[in-house]
Amino acid sequence: MTEGKARVVVLIELLGRSGHERHEDIVFELGLIGDPAAVSAVEKAAGEPFPYLEEWGNLREFQRKCAYTLARIGTVESRAALERMTGHADPNLREYGQEGLARWPLPFKAR
């Protein structure tokens, strides 16, 4: 396993765990990497109401980052995840799913 792939595996594992306050940073990093292995974890995390994100008022921003990460990954699977988001019970997730679909696939532009 390459170092980059090992990093993705660790980030995916951490994204699914509670007990830390780095979910936004992790999903942002996964979006920069764009590895298709992250699709399922990002989709699941988008629907998780992490208590600290709700307390800080950042849950919606996190959910939006998840949608953009899925758009950035740009695979058929990530598009399907965004389509599922558009049917979610949470109206914000529905909106972010639609926003992600409108930008899918989102190319990475290095600065």
DSSP-derived 3-state class of residue 102: helix
Whether 28 shows a pLDDT value over 50: the answer reads yes
Predicted confidence (pLDDT) at residue 1 exceeds the cutoff of 90: no
Residue 12: its pLDDT value, please? 98
Domain range holding 27? 3-103
In a domain, 86, yes or no: yes
Q: Which pair of tokens denotes residue 31?
A: 């979006």
Residues 42-78: pLDDT tens digits? 999 999 999 999 999 999 999 999 999 999 999 999 9
- The reply to whether 34 falls in a domain is yes
- Which residue, among 7, 79, 16, has the nearest Cα to 44 in the 3D structure? 16
Q: Does some domain include residue 56?
A: yes
* CA-wise closest residue to 64 among 38, 86, 92, 37: 92
The count of structural domains within the chain is: 1
